């Protein structure tokens, strides 16, 4: 036993330990046993330490995943693009920004930049489109990096010499609208290579709340046509709308970014029924003022009118609840051009409208028409002419009637003076004679007769 070890053991056990050969062997045996015991204790501690990490591994570690959809097979013409959608999702509460990259690209493959190139909060979608003029299958690895975490996914782009029957989907890339409003966009499905199968369309929205999407129609029978996508927003924000078209083994997608902004506070609008009024001096003119609410305005609107010197204007009524009309009345005795301003105040908003008023010189009054005995001259003349015509016609009729009666009386007077023995009575002048058929009963008398006449003989009285 070395002398140093012996001195240490002597210090531990005192002077009772001797340096005989037998004692040295005992001490050496004790030393070996102590080393074995210490080695066993170390191994037990090591096994205990190995068990400890198993307990710590149960704590979730924040992370994210990257996925990619397989694009459709397209023609290798160098212009037709195939598109893959990149999906990024968080794990265990991860909220970092994930940067996306697809470099390096395979030879003979041209790809657009990934859009967007970064996904905030490690949750969202991006797209990448590629084309090639060389037929073949190309594997593109999409890398997602955030801090020290790196994930990847692979999308295979396949290009053929001749396009197989398929279809494409096209739509605008972005739509903007205000909250509580709607907007529309057309989604066009176009067949290729003689494709004539039914295409069913579906839409998904991310985030899933705040924006709703409807597709009409949702099914295109021959794989060709246009579908209207209607967007209705209830909350502001940026939304990613993915429209998927599926027909048997074919599937295509298109992405639309919908930006929704605040609609603004409730407000109202003011307008005029007519932008101008034309009046004569001294005569009033009127028009209507129209108040229309917008964005849910329900308050009262107060109206005021401002008019320059030389013209007076008034409003009735001067207060309108939410919507309605007010009548503006203006009057002036001074010809000229005037600009009237209407001021409307409601809530925190103030709006104005202007009206041009043209005042013309008063036209002279037309002279009153002349009258005779309260009648217009033309009317009076017609009445007089009618009276004259009636009097003249009456006079002519009277004279004719009077001449006829005179002739009758003359004939009766001549024949009453003939005797019964006379056969004729003749005018004294001999110009005319009247032949009778019987003797006149009276003495002979001559009279004037206008014509010759014959009368039947009067029978003789019996003897």
Q: What is the pLDDT of residue 422?
A: 46
Instruction: Provide the percentage of residues in the chain whose pLDDT is more than 90.
Output: 46
Roughly what angle, to the nearest 10 degrees, separates helices 21-56 and 3-13? 80
One-letter-per-residue 3-state SS of the chain: CCHHHHHHHHHHHHHHCCCCHHHHHHHHHHHHHHHHHHHHHHHHHHHHHHHHHHHHCCCCCCEEEEEECCCCCEECCCCCCEEEEEEEEEECCCCCCEEEECCCCCCCCEECCCECCEEHHHCEEEEEEEECCCCEEEEEEEEEEECCEEEEEEEEEEEECCCCCEEEEECCCEEEEECCCEEEEEEEEEEECCCCCCEEEEEEEECCCCEEEEEECCEECCCCEEEEEEEEECCCEEEEEEEEEEECCEEEEEEEEEEEECCCCCEEEEEECCCEEEEECCCCEEEEEEEEEECCCCCEEEEEEECCCCCEEEEECCEEECCEEEEEEEECCCCEEEEEEEEEEECCEEEEEEEEEEEECCCCCCCCCCCECCECHHHHHHHHHHHHHHHHHHHHHHHHHHHHHHHHHHHHHHHCCCCCCCCEEECCCCCCEEECCCCCCCCCCCCCCCCCCCCCCCCCCCC
CATH number of 267-360: 2.60.40.10
The more confident residue out of 337 and 412 is 337
Euclidean distance between the first and the last CA atom of the chain, given in angstroms as a whole number: 235
- Asked if residue 112 has pLDDT above 60, the reply is yes
| Residues 6 or more apart in contact with residue 300 via CB below 8 angstroms | 319, 320, 321, 322, 346
State the chain's mean pLDDT as an integer.
Answer: 80
The more confident residue out of 179 and 366 is 179
Contact 241, 231 (CB under 8 A): yes
- Asked if residue 425 has pLDDT above 70, the reply is no
Q: What is the pLDDT of residue 325?
A: 95
- Asked if residue 437 has pLDDT above 50, the reply is no
Phi and psi at 310, nearest 5°, equal 100, -5
Q: What is the pLDDT of residue 60?
A: 83
pLDDT in tens, 10-24: 454 444 444 555 666
User: Minimal CA–CA distance to 234: which of 180, 186, 275?
Assistant: 180
pLDDT in tens, 42-94: 555 555 555 445 444 567 899 999 999 999 888 888 888 999 999 999 998 89
Which CATH architecture group holds 63-160?
Sandwich (2.60)
Q: What is the pLDDT of residue 366?
A: 61
Q: Would you place residue 330 in the very low, low, confident or very high pLDDT band (cuts 50, 70, 90)?
A: very high
Q: Would you place residue 169 in the very low, low, confident or very high pLDDT band (cuts 50, 70, 90)?
A: very high
pLDDT in tens, 331-382: 999 999 999 999 999 988 899 999 999 999 877 666 666 777 777 788 888 8
Lowest mean pLDDT across 3-17, 139-153, 293-307: 3-17
Stretch 218-229: mean pLDDT, rounded? 91
- Asked if residue 311 has pLDDT above 60, the reply is yes
Q: Would you place residue 420 in the very low, low, confident or very high pLDDT band (cuts 50, 70, 90)?
A: very low
Q: Would you place residue 445 in the very low, low, confident or very high pLDDT band (cuts 50, 70, 90)?
A: very low
Q: What is the pLDDT of residue 96?
A: 92
Instruction: Provide the percentage of residues in the chain whose pLDDT is more than 70.
Output: 74
Q: What is the pLDDT of residue 446?
A: 44
* Cα–Cα dist 275/352, whole Å: 13
Question: Which range, 156-165, 186-195, 237-246, has the best average confidence (pLDDT)?
Answer: 237-246
Stretch 287-307: mean pLDDT, rounded? 91
Superfamily of domain 166-261: Immunoglobulins (2.60.40.10)
Q: Would you place residue 205 in the very low, low, confident or very high pLDDT band (cuts 50, 70, 90)?
A: very high
Q: Would you place residue 392 in the very low, low, confident or very high pLDDT band (cuts 50, 70, 90)?
A: confident
Stretch 297-317: mean pLDDT, rounded? 93
- Asked if residue 157 has pLDDT above 90, the reply is yes
Residue 153: other Cβ atoms inside 10 A: 19
Q: What is the pLDDT of residue 211?
A: 92
Domain range summary for the chain, segments of one domain joined by +: 3-54, 63-160, 166-261, 267-360, 376-458
């Amino acid at each position: 036993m070395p002398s140093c070890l012996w001195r240490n053991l002597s210090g531990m056990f005192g002077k009772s330990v001797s340096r005989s050969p037998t004692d040295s062997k005992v001490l050496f045996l004790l030393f070996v046993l102590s080393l074995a015991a210490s080695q066993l204790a170390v191994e037990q501690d090591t096994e205990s330490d190995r068990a400890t990490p198993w307990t710590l591994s149960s704590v979730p570690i924040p992370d994210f995943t990257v996925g990619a959809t397989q694009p459709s097979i397209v023609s290798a013409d160098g212009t037709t693009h195939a598109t893959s959608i990149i999906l990024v999702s968080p794990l265990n509460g991860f909220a970092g920004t994930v940067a996306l990259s697809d470099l390096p690209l395979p030879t003979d493959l041209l790809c657009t930049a990934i859009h967007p190139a970064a996904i905030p909060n490690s949750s969202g979608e991006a797209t990448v489109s590629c084309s090639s003029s060389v037929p073949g299958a190309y594997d593109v690895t999409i890398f997602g990096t955030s801090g020290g975490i790196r994930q990847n996914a692979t999308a295979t782009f396949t290009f053929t010499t001749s396009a197989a029957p398929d279809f494409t989907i096209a739509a605008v890339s972005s739509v903007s609208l205000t909250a509580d409003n709607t907007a529309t966009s057309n989604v066009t499905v176009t067949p290729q290579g003689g494709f004539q199968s039914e295409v069913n369309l579906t839409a998904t929205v991310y985030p899933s709340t705040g924006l709703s999407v409807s597709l009409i129609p949702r099914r295109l029978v021959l794989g060709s046509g246009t579908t209207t996508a209607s967007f209705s927003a209830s909350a502001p924000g940026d939304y990613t709308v993915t429209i998927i078209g599926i027909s048997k083994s074919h599937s295509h997608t298109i992405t639309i970014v919908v930006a929704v902004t605040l609609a603004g506070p409730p407000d109202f609008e003011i307008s005029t029924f007519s932008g101008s009024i034309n009046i004569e001096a001294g005569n009033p003119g009127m028009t209507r003022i129209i108040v229309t609410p917008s964005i849910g305005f329900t308050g009262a609107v107060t109206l005021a009118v401002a008019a320059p010197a030389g013209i007076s204007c008034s409003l009735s009524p001067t207060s309108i609840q939410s919507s309605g009309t007010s009548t503006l009345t203006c009057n002036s005795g001074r010809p000229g051009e005037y600009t009237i301003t209407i001021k409307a105040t409601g809530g925190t908003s103030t709006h104005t409208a202007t009206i041009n008023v043209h005042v013309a010189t008063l036209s002279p009054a037309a002279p009153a028409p002349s009258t005779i005995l309260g009648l217009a001259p033309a009317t009076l003349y017609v009445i007089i002419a009618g009276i004259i015509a009636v009097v003249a016609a009456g006079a002519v009729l009277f004279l004719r009637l009077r001449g006829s009666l005179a002739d009758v009386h003359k004939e009766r007077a001549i024949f009453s003076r003939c005797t019964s023995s006379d056969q004729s009575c003749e005018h004294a002048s001999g110009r005319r004679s009247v032949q009778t058929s019987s003797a006149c009963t009276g003495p002979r008398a001559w009279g004037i007769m206008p014509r010759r006449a014959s009368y039947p003989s009067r029978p003789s009285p019996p003897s």
